[in-house]
Amino acid sequence: MTSIAYSVQLQTNPRNFGGCLWNNNSSAKAVYQLNTRFRAAISSRIYCSSAAISVMAEEKREASFDADKAGVIVKELRQQYDSGKTKTYEWRVAQLEGIAKMVDEREKDIIEALNKDLSKPEFEAFVAEINMIKSACKLAIKELKQWMMPEKVKTPLTTFPSSAEIVSEPFGIVLVISTWNYPFLLSIDPVIGAIAAGNAVLLKPSEIAPATSSLIANLFQEYVDSTSIKVVEGAVDETSALLEQKWDKIFYTGSGRVGRIVMAAAAKHLTPVVLELGGKCPVVVDSEVNLQVAARRIIAGKWSCNIGQTCTAADYVITTKDFAPKLIAGLSSELDNFFGKDPLNSKDMSRVVNLYHFRRLVKLMEEDGVSDKIVLGGQTDEMQLKIAPTILVDAPKDSAVMTEEIFGPLLPIVTVEKIEDCFEVIKSKPKPLAAYLFTDNEKLKKAFVKDVSAGGMLINDTILHLTVDALPFGGVGESGMGYYHGKFSFEAFSHKKAVMYRSFDGDSSIRYPPYTLKKLNLLKSLLSGSIMQIIPALLGWSKE
């Protein structure tokens, strides 16, 4: 293993290749092809090693987690919920305070786990995961009493005397299936909403981020009520067994492919779902921009956010043919400032999560008609699972990089004759989770907000709308259904129960048989709401 690792490191760690600008794509292609040959020379040895490790991991696994074991856990959760304790304000606040304490006391452990899983820099781990959870806990604790209060509503004259309210009640027992790109944030954030709403919860973290998954499972045993908030670790077998059970709500974050499986399983029990998926998020860049600021903010929302492994990251850019060279030059300059001339060795850049996704991304670049479209980047390091920020221009419309969600450090640029042509490009694809526009043109801003359908939208920046807890976060169409964040998280896990109160006074014969013309006229007058019609009807005066 040592000699193989040494050989791989020598052959797949390109250094000092630098970046290539718009007019130097031949150099970028040469770098890319060189790396391709290196990867091919060692791929068989890598596969053998990976297979051996996989076999050992399988041998160490415990007995299969089946539907029967999942059923026992669900029964335990149901008993806890039926006891009524999770509905109390005191229980909810105690669990939220426990999570807040957990994050404060175990911050270093969380950062270490995120680094193991994704080589996530400490700064990024704190800002994008730890601080987001702290904020969510703080808000929920502060506002919980207000969220739990029934909402008074008006009642019509036809129900007089009466009053009515909307009562937020927990669904019951809920399943949260998390994902790997933000394995701490996207596990804990929906759980906060489920707890605040008064549910018993089962969390299934992602096995693709094993260090974080294991840490969460251990921490929940210590910091929250583990009889009502449980964690099940595992992969496909465990998830499948859990999905066979009857839940009162399922919250899933991940790919559209698995989202369809989750929804199909939920349909068997008529279980409502929240699906937080993704899609190809467009970034439209007009020529009327501050180029340096626009470039920095695009980079911040693409390569500085988990190297593009973010559901709201820029998936492709649309700009005019005339402006494209300037934009690429601006991005290249700022990328050098952020990550240096050798980005593969930057300590400020995360890595691709695993070998499968690394090779998936490499395959996107290798496709015929795509590799020669690389104008910047293209360097890879399989040992480190790192790919340099890579820009492609006008890749074929039917190529995988233009039809599949990239979820990595590749950024295609689509050029158009005039910026208004962006609408046709965006509408030709499924509705995205997020859409971004950079411009100072007020007319273009209004048209973008009006005509582009997306889960969320941000003008002159990327990603930051996720940090505003007063805004709902969720998809539309193939990018998902349902939403959460802030009070919306509480509502995502709450049933809005309509409650009406009446006394025994004021009982009117108008609603009871025998039905007469007088009763019909009175009913019509009451429904009209006009006092000028109600008085004659009460006196029995006919309209005729």
Set 129, 276, 334, 405: catalytic member: 276
Across all residues in the chain, what is the average pLDDT?
89
CA-CA-CA-CA torsion sign (162, 166, 167, 170)? positive
The residue ranking higher by pLDDT, 455 or 35, is: 455
Look at the domain 282-470 and name its fold. Aldehyde Dehydrogenase; Chain A, domain 2 (3.40.309)
Cis? peptide before 161, omega within 30° of 0: yes
Contacts of 498 (CB under 8 A, 6+ apart): 164, 166
DSSP state of 394: S
Q: How far is the C-alpha of 354 from the C-alpha of 50, rounded, in Å?
A: 11
**Residue 57 pLDDT class (50, 70, 90 cuts):** very low
Residue 208, pLDDT score: 97
Set 20, 137, 281, 311: catalytic member: 311
Per residue in 233-259, pLDDT (tens digit) is 999 999 999 999 999 999 999 999 999
Q: Would you tell me how many other CB atoms lie within 10 Å of the CB of residue 446?
A: 10
Distance of CA 168 to the CA centre of its chain: 24
**Phi, psi angle pair for 435, to nearest 5°:** -140, 140
Residue 534, pLDDT score: 64
Helix extents (H) in 83-162: 89-105, 107-118, 122-125, 131-148
Per residue in 295-316, pLDDT (tens digit) is 999 999 999 989 999 999 999 9
Element containing residue 229 per DSSP (H, E)? strand 229-231
Instruction: Please state which CATH number belongs to domain 67-277+491-495.
Output: 3.40.605.10
Q: How far is the C-alpha of 247 from the C-alpha of 322, rounded, in Å?
A: 54
Task: List the chain domain ranges.
Answer: 67-277+491-495, 282-470
**Residue 202 pLDDT class (50, 70, 90 cuts):** very high
Residue 519, pLDDT score: 83
Percentage of residues in the chain with pLDDT exceeding 90? Answer: 80
Q: How far is the C-alpha of 294 from the C-alpha of 290, rounded, in Å?
A: 6
Note if 276 is an active site residue.
yes
Q: How far is the C-alpha of 487 from the C-alpha of 493, rounded, in Å?
A: 10
**Is the pLDDT reported for residue 347 higher than 50?**
yes
CA dihedral 65, 66, 67, 72 (to 10 degrees): -50
Per residue in 161-192, pLDDT (tens digit) is 899 999 999 999 999 999 999 999 999 999 99
Q: Pairing state of beta strands 249-253 and 151-153?
A: unpaired
Note if 311 is an active site residue.
yes
Q: Provide the edge-to-edge strand list for the sheet that holds 151-153.
A: 151-153, 162-170, 494-502
Per residue in 62-80, pLDDT (tens digit) is 458 899 999 999 999 999 9
